Amino acid sequence: DTPPSHNLEMKHLAGADPELVLLSHRYEELERIPLSDMTREEINHLVQDLGFYRKETPDAPVPEEFQFAPARPLPTLPPRHGKPPPERAEGEHPDL
């Protein structure tokens, strides 16, 4: 086994092909990477290449600059061409 990585959670789903699901800080799916044809070593390299911080021990502190790693910038949305923003229910947060 390898040391745990910060912001990486593994879930075993019986009958499902293994894949790495990358989420935004808002838990929006950004990308799915199939892992079926990869070795453990290749997966470990992938996780490292993606910028996950590898901790020495499960309870080791994570440096501040890696707290949100491997966060990617949010996708840039195309301009709305003068359309008004969608209406929200009263009191609804703009990010919801």
> For the domain that residue 16 is a member of, what is the CATH number?
3.40.30.50
Q: Give the tokens for residue 77.
A: 């949305």
Per-residue pLDDT, 19: 92
CA distances from 38 to 7, 18, 43, 45, 91 (A): 21, 10, 6, 10, 47
What's the pLDDT score for residue 9? 83
Residue 96: its pLDDT value, please? 47
When divided into structural domains, the chain yields a total of: 1
Q: pLDDT tens string for the chain (96 positions)?
A: 566 788 888 888 899 999 998 888 788 888 899 999 999 999 989 988 888 888 888 889 988 888 887 766 555 555 555 555 556 556 555 554
Cβ–Cβ under 8 Å, residues 57 and 3:
yes
Characterize the bridge pairing of strands 29-34 and 19-23: antiparallel
Note the pTM of the prediction, 2 decimals: 0.61
Instruction: Identify the domain containing residue 14 by its residue range.
Output: 1-73
Q: Token pair of 85, please? A: 């923003």
User: Can you give the length of the chain in residues?
Assistant: 96
